[in-house]
Amino acid sequence: MKTHAQSISSVRGLTRLAFRAVLVASVLALFGCAGAELDDPVAHDPDAVAKGAALYVEMCSVCHGTKGQGVSAPALNPTTHSDDELRKIISERMPPGSPGRCNGRCPQYVTAYIRAGMQAGPPTCSERSLGTRRLRLLTRKEYQNTLSDLLPKSGGACALPSFSYDPSGRTLKSVHVAGSFNGWAGTIAGGGLPLSYSAVDKRWKTEKALDPGSYSYKFVLDEKEWIADPSNPRTMPDGFGGQNSVLTVTCKPGAAALDLTSDLPPDARPEGYGFDNNSDARMVSEGHLEGFRKGAEIAAKQITDNLSMVLPCDPNGGRSAVCAEQFLKSFGLRAFRRPLRATELARYQALILAQKTFAEGISAAVQALLTSPNFLYRSEVGELQSDGTYRLTPYEVASALSYLFWRSMPDQELFDAAGRGDLAASEKIREQAARLLASPRSREVIGAFGLSYLGAEDILTNNKSTVLYPDFSSAVRTAMAEETQRLFSHVTLDGSGRFDELFTADYSFLNADLAKLYGVGGVSGSQLGKQPYGSIPRSGVLGHGSVLGSYAHSDQSSPIRRGLFVRRQLLCEELPPPPPNAGGVPQVDPKATTRERFRQHTSVAFCKSCHQYIDDLGFGFERFDAVGKWRDAENGQPIDGIGDLNDREALGSLSHAPYSSLKELGTMLAESDRARSCFVRKTVRYARGAQEDVAEDLCSLWQLQNRFRDSGYSVKELLLSLTQSEGFVLRAAEGSSH
């Protein structure tokens, strides 16, 4: 227990240091802003006006108009304020929905744009935009995955059955598995298990959770050529003169998997961030300390119960010291995601040898390792370079890659690449990124990212009236979340890979219950499979129950929530908060439609300044009720399903884009530069584990947006491009600007 206390004390100490670091960084940023006012480096920035234009559209145009003409706030073109007055007003009050968000050089950029007559040319963007040195506390999911990968797979915690096919240089469009577990599906759309091609391994691969038992299967090449698995010697006659391959599963993957997060507090999500990995908000609490202690105890028991599986040596015969060292070098590398230092190795070795038995020593060392900050935090600190920046070490790069694509520790191939020094070259980083992305493990991560990007995880906790919506069961809500996750991973890895398909897909992944609610016929079973919508008026993620249900009330639809969903989640547009005296739903005829009840928002000037961007947009979703079911009428009145994606690219531009279906809206969003750039921003936010700085990160975001455009808006290419940016491997010196 003494070791536990020492380790937990280290966690507390690092937490206090991390908190101080954030506080100091905030103070430095404040003084950096003051210094900028005096030295005015923005005056020497050739992109100052262009940056100011982007920031103005982002935070100011909704009230002041795209050209400063004035909407719900005074006109700025021209303005009677001095430069100092403008900067002070912007830094203290703007934007209204998040005062202080425009800080640092941001007020100066916006002022430069206003002073230039609100005219801006294209940016050159030659400056660097580097990340911040930080330690990132593992999220609950990262903690669970990392420990699961560290622990021996026994006692019912099995590895997933895997399938692998070597095409031997043959070019194929698709490979899938058809077998007794999926009704011998002849096509992927019909339920076949798709394999993903790894350009690194030059193989098609996938994994599949199966219950214990024996299964027969074949590979289907390009959905027409059926062959037995060449790498599996176990076969049986297929009844047609050929052979089926045979797979025997002896235990169910995850059936006895240890839940190591039940005692951990929920992951904090700051307002407007949307993901569970915000490093600035992730501070260790007392609840974390107790959860980490229990998790380490459980993991240590799992290891000592299966010592033969983890020890690379025999501790008997007077070789305990040597065996302890060998174990620590192997396990310590994986736990700390870097080799143990000599002092660390000696300390943990002494701890093992001080116990009564070797097994007790291993248990004590494992618990100490797994409560160490070196395990609980991901390091992105780097090593000092000659130019004053910090470059991530090869092992830090390996972790940055594995947690981005797998939400877990590096595998052996990544550790080996780091040990060889391969991860110093950008092309080697991309090669490893492509390998991780091609792995079946990336599917869950991409799906989870997609659900969070949409803010549609609320469907799992958003309760609905059982009287009004009897078909909305717990199984249906789970299927809705999985549907969205499956579409994201399918589009990225199996479909076109393009951003627009997320919004224009004329198919989805449905089971019998979800298909019944959607009105899609011919679907049976509890497993989700790819199904065309047919004549059903849905399109991409906009037609998903996870989205439509998350942005609705328990007993009725909500054009406000759905309109704000498009503005905030998909377009990254900020609106001022409602005034304190804003009312709720107007008291009108209870038999009126939702559109009629909310008409007051845009008929009263006081409300219209903001609701003109929300209500008309949200009304286009009204043909779908609070759980996403199609309806033609409400309260006996026909529904007017016309919407307007007005001011799509810039709030305050006074443009209109009417639409009569979610398919039309999906097409508009798929073609929107604003929606594309918002997707890039959220992807960067997720990868960094931190909110972007609207002023300092403009250049890096522009560069990624250009690469995204040049790739034909490929989601996969965007993820790979992230790993090629300077900000992925370089960190700025403390106290310096990006």
**pLDDT given at position 259:** 77
Question: Above 70 in pLDDT, residue 602?
Answer: no
Percent pLDDT > 70 in the chain is: 86
- What's the whole-number mean pLDDT along residues 41-69? 81
**pLDDT given at position 436:** 94
**pLDDT given at position 347:** 97
What is the pLDDT confidence band of residue 323, given thresholds at 50, 70 and 90? very high
What is the pLDDT confidence band of residue 425, given thresholds at 50, 70 and 90? very high
The span from the CA of 229 to the CA of 217, in Å, is 8
CA atoms within 13 A on the CB side of 696: 19
| Tens digits of residue pLDDT in 465-506 | 999 999 899 999 999 999 999 999 999 998 889 999 999 999
In this predicted structure, which of 150-154, 400-404, 432-436 has the lowest mean pLDDT? 150-154
CB 215 within 8 A of CB 252: no
CB 619 within 8 A of CB 640: yes
Question: Above 50 in pLDDT, residue 10?
Answer: no
**pLDDT given at position 735:** 53
**pLDDT given at position 504:** 96
**pLDDT given at position 124:** 80
In this predicted structure, which of 152-166, 185-199, 280-294, 376-390 has the lowest mean pLDDT? 152-166
**pLDDT given at position 601:** 53
**pLDDT given at position 250:** 67
- What's the whole-number mean pLDDT along residues 139-157? 82
* Residue found by looking up tokens 């304190």 in the block: 580
Cα 721 to the chain's mean position, in Å? Answer: 16
Question: Above 50 in pLDDT, residue 180?
Answer: yes
Question: Above 80 in pLDDT, residue 396?
Answer: yes
- What's the whole-number mean pLDDT along residues 525-554? 93
C-alpha distances out from residue 217 to 174, 226, 243, 542, Å: 16, 10, 9, 36
Token pair of 226 as six digits: 């059926």
Of these ranges, 28-37, 248-257, 306-315, the one predicted with the greatest mean pLDDT is 306-315
**pLDDT given at position 159:** 60
- What's the whole-number mean pLDDT along residues 69-96? 82
**pLDDT given at position 5:** 40
Question: Above 80 in pLDDT, residue 592?
Answer: no
Phi and psi at 259, nearest 5°, equal: -85, 110
Residue-wise DSSP of 163-220: EEE--TT---S-EEEEETTTT--SSTTTT-EE-EEETTTTEEEEE----SEEEEEEEE
**pLDDT given at position 170:** 92
Percent pLDDT > 90 in the chain is: 52
The span from the CA of 23 to the CA of 12, in Å, is 17
CB 3 within 8 A of CB 708: no
The span from the CA of 500 to the CA of 124, in Å, is 28
Mean of pLDDT over the chain: 85
**pLDDT given at position 28:** 32
Q: Which amino acid is at 120?
A: A
Neighbours of 504 (CB within 10 A): 18
What is the pLDDT confidence band of residue 280, given thresholds at 50, 70 and 90? confident
Question: Above 80 in pLDDT, residue 584?
Answer: no
Q: Where is 378: in which H helix or E strand?
A: strand 377-380
